[in-house]
Structures are given as structure tokens and as C-alpha cells.
């Protein structure tokens, strides 16, 4: 990701300037992978279009890489200079601290009703929506069609078939038969996909952490014994393999299978890799659910401006603008109107997203409404790789993570 425009020198409140003029400050994450497709270009064009229609309103946008954006917003809030809007990875801490407007104070009824319900529900803290979904994706199993054809394989539908396919790919000299990125960049995602395919997840139906459940221990024991222990996950230890490196290796034709999200379509396509996509296999059949991921828009109360913020957000979430952003970055629309338009489209890029679109309505998201999730996610990133390492104990690692989660939940409970 590319870090773009820095913060302006003046970070104070941006209310009235003596006339009807007002500046709304938005801090946003960069979804691009180069300066050429930085999100700054998207937001600058959107702001310019909005400003043309609304004299006296200026939209000031600062874009940061995903490595920096959450920290930048936290620093601004801690310093007493919250932006009006932030488009980042998590909202619950700010909602719990009473720093955000509820979505119902901002958005028109039409805009609010248009969000896909799993995403809107995931944006709730204590049964009130504060997190406004901005971008979404699900995960599917990508496989290299060329490597599969050479080994005379069909895509797996169960764990046993996945392991058998990986063994056959290894025999053909494939570098990463199944790429298992449990490195610190995004291990919480690969972990959740496997937990779901094993029939459980991070939490139960009422939101209590169940990281060390017997089903989850069985899942990681299987991974350790049947994939990692049989040298079917490649030359880099899973705990050191990051998602970006796994995607790059897939785009270079070195990976037989891996869990991927929509951006991998473009990345692999640019390199000419022929690939297929199927639902993630489960223990004995299709996984219970796919993992969904959403990023969030939120509005801070510090500077007031609820009406102006809401009007701008209604513009941001128009069908046209949601589709434009989704298509530009290979992500899924968060609204029903844009999802329906994409599903009905015959455009090749839209058709390529169909496997992901189909899974979104029934996908499961991280427990982002829990203020403890940030600490739990960080612990998973740092430690889950040990569960599949030689001599590692899946039960012991998951038990330690459960203790961390329980403690984090207690300390953040309100």
C-alpha cells in the first residue's frame, strides 16, 4: 500500500469560518497498490464532484496506507482533534467511548435501509449502529488451473480431498501446494476461515469467545498433522508467511491452492495465471460459512456537523459511487442496490466477483462489535503460527488465546 497525502498543518475544529463555509475532514485508508491507483484519486474526484453541487462545503481528504491509517486516526482523537469522518478498520472502541454519531443521526432512511443486513448488523455496538460498512469481501479457495490439470486434479470439496490434492501437487514439484499464511500481517483471516470450515469460529451465537473449543482444537490439529507436518504448505513456515507474500507467490504460479479475496483476481490475472475459485472446503463438505470482511466509515461528534456529514455520506453511498469504488478495487458493494446492479451485470470484471457476491449474504464477519476484538486479533496474529509449528501444541496455543480473549473482554466490558 502507498501512503499518500499527509495531515494538514491545522488540525483544530473545522466549523464555521465566519460565513456558511464549512470544511469536513475525512481520513481514509488506501486500497491501491501504487501511486497510480491510490484511493486518494478516488476521494479527490468524489470530493470535487460533491463540492460542485454544494457551494460553501469543502471536503478535505487525507489518505494513509493500511499500515498507518488506524494509528493516525487514534493519534488525532487522542490529541483532541478528531476528524469529522474516518474510513478505517474498526469502530467499536470509538463507539464505546461515546465519540461517534449513531448512523441513524446521519443517514437518510433510504441510505440506511440499503445496507446489506449482515454488514449493518456487524456495525452495531450495544444494538445501535455506529459502524457504517464501506467495503466488503469474502473468501473463496483459489486454485491454479494449470497446476491442477498437470496433476489431473479436481478442486477439493472436503479437507481430505484438499490434503490429497496438495500431496499430488507436491509430487509435481509445486512450491506451495497449499499456501497457509499465518504470519503476523493477516493471520486472523486465515485462522477464521479454517475455524469456520471446521464448524466453529472465534465466538458462539451470543458473542462469547470460543477460541479453544474442541472443534477449533481439532481444526488446528488437522492442519498441523495433515498439511504442515506433511510438508504440503511450502518452504516458508506458516507463522512467517504473510498474506501479501502468499498472494504474490500465487500470481507467480508457485501456489496450488490458497484462500483469497477479490483483489487476487486482478493480481493473478495481470500475471496471466489461469485460476478457478470454489467455496472453501469443510471437514466433510462445504464449509459452514465463508468469512466476510468489512471496513468501516464512522463520523465523530467532536466538531458537530451531523447534517452536513450525513448529506455527504448519502452522496458517498449512492449506487453509482459504491459501484465505482467496488469496481476500481475489486471489492464487493456494501449496499443492496449496488450488489444487485453488479449481480445483473454482464461485464467480465463484475462476473468474476460472482463467487464472492453469492457468499456475502450468509458470510460471518469478525466480532468487530466487541471492543476486545482489536486485542484478540493482535494476539492471534502474533501467536497462531506456533499452533502448527514443529513441536507446537494447537490446544495449548488456542487455550492461551482464549485466556487473552477472556481477559480482554473483561477489561473492555461496559
Among 80, 71, 75, 69, which residue's Cα sits nearest to residue 26? 69
Domains and CATH numbers, the chain: 22-136+293-362 (3.40.190.10), 140-289+372-412 (3.40.190.10)
Per-residue pLDDT tens digits for 296-319: 999 999 999 999 999 999 999 999
Neighbour tally for 34: CB within 10 Å: 8
**How many residues are recorded in the chain?**
414
Supply the pLDDT for residue 413.
Answer: 62
Give strand ranges (E) for 139-263.
Answer: 140-144, 176-178, 255-260
Nearest alpha carbon to residue 59 among 350, 311, 264: 311
Pairing mode, strands 291-299 and 364-365: parallel
Residue 39 has a pLDDT of 93
pTM for this model (two decimals): 0.81
**Residue 384 corresponds to which cell in the numbers above?**
497462531
Which sign does the torsion angle of CA 59, 329, 179, 343 carry? positive
Question: In this predicted model, what pLDDT tens digit does every residue of 173-220 receive, in sequence order?
Answer: 999 999 999 999 889 999 999 999 999 999 998 889 999 999 999 999
Name the CA dihedral angle for 361, 362, 368, 374, rounded to a multiple of 10 degrees: -120
CA–CA separation, 221 vs 227, rounded Å?
10
| Eight-state DSSP code of residue 35 | G
Cα Rg, the chain, nearest whole Å: 22
pLDDT the model gives residue 225 = 98
pLDDT tens for the chain, 414 residues: list them: 332 323 232 333 333 333 458 999 999 999 987 788 899 999 999 999 999 999 899 999 999 998 889 999 999 999 999 999 999 988 999 999 999 999 999 999 999 999 998 899 999 998 999 999 999 999 999 999 999 999 999 999 999 999 999 999 999 999 999 999 999 988 999 999 999 999 999 999 888 999 999 999 999 999 999 999 999 999 999 999 999 999 999 999 999 999 998 889 989 999 999 999 999 999 998 888 889 989 999 999 999 999 999 999 999 999 999 999 999 988 999 999 999 999 999 999 899 899 999 888 878 899 988 989 989 999 999 999 999 999 999 999 999 999 999 999 888 764
Alpha carbon distance 23, 308 (integer Å): 10
User: Are the CB atoms for 201 and 365 separated by under 8 Å?
Assistant: no
Using CA atoms, how far apart are residues 22 and 93, in angstroms rounded to an integer? Answer: 28
Amino acid at each position: 500500500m502507498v501512503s499518500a497525502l499527509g495531515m494538514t498543518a491545522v488540525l483544530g475544529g473545522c466549523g464555521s469560518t465566519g460565513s456558511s463555509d464549512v470544511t469536513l475532514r475525512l481520513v481514509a485508508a488506501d486500497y491501491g497498490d501504487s501511486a497510480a491507483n491510490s484511493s486518494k484519486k478516488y476521494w479527490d474526484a468524489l470530493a470535487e464532484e460533491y463540492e460542485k453541487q454544494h457551494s460553501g462545503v469543502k471536503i478535505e481528504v487525507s489518505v494513509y496506507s493500511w499500515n498507518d491509517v488506524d494509528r493516525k486516526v487514534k493519534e488525532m482523537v487522542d490529541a483532541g482533534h478528531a476528524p469529522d469522518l474516518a474510513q478505517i478498520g474498526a469502530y467499536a472502541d470509538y463507539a464505546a467511548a461515546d465519540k461517534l454519531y449513531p448512523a441513524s443521526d446521519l443517514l437518510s432512511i433510504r441510505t440506511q435501509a440499503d445496507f446489506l443486513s449482515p454488514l449493518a448488523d456487524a456495525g452495531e455496538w450495544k444494538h445501535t449502529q455506529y459502524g457504517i460498512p464501506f467495503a466488503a469481501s469474502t473468501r473463496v479457495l483459489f486454485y491454479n488451473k494449470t497446476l491442477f490439470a498437470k496433476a489431473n486434479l479436481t478442486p477439493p470439496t472436503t479437507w481430505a480431498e484438499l490434503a490429497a490434492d496438495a500431496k499430488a501437487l507436491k509430487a509435481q514439484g509445486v512450491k506451495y501446494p497449499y499456501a497457509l499464511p499465518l504470519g503476523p500481517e493477516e493471520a486472523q483471516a486465515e485462522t477464521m476461515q479454517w475455524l469456520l470450515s471446521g464448524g466453529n469460529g472465534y465466538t458462539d451465537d451470543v458473542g462469547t469467545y470460543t477460541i479453544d473449543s474442541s472443534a477449533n482444537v481439532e481444526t488446528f490439529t488437522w492442519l498441523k498433522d495433515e498439511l504442515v507436518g506433511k510438508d504440503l504448505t511450502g518452504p516458508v513456515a506458516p507463522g512467517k508467511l504473510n498474506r501479501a507474500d502468499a498472494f504474490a507467490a500465487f500470481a507467480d504460479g508457485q501456489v496450488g491452492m490458497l484462500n483469497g479475496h477479490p483483489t487476487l483476481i486482478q493480481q493473478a490475472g495481470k500475471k496471466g495465471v489461469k485460476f478457478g475459485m470454489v467455496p472453501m472446503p469443510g471437514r466433510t463438505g462445504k464449509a459452514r460459512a465463508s468469512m466476510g470482511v468489512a471496513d468501516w466509515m464512522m463520523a465523530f461528534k467532536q466538531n458537530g456537523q451531523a447534517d452536513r456529514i450525513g448529506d455527504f455520506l448519502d452522496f458517498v453511498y449512492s449506487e453509482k459511487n459504491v459501484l465505482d469504488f467496488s469496481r476500481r478495487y475489486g471489492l464487493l458493494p456494501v449496499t443492496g442496490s449496488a450488489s444487485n446492479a453488479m449481480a445483473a451485470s454482464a461485464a467480465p470484471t463484475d462476473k468474476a466477483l460472482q463467487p464472492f457476491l453469492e457468499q456475502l449474504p450468509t458470510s460471518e464477519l469478525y466480532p468487530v462489535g466487541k471492543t476486545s476484538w482489536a486485542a484478540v486479533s493482535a494476539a492471534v496474529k502474533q501467536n497462531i503460527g506456533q499452533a502448527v509449528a514443529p513441536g507446537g501444541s494447537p490446544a495449548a496455543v488456542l487455550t492461551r488465546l482464549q485466556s487473552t480473549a477472556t481477559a480482554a473482554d473483561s477489561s473492555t466490558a461496559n
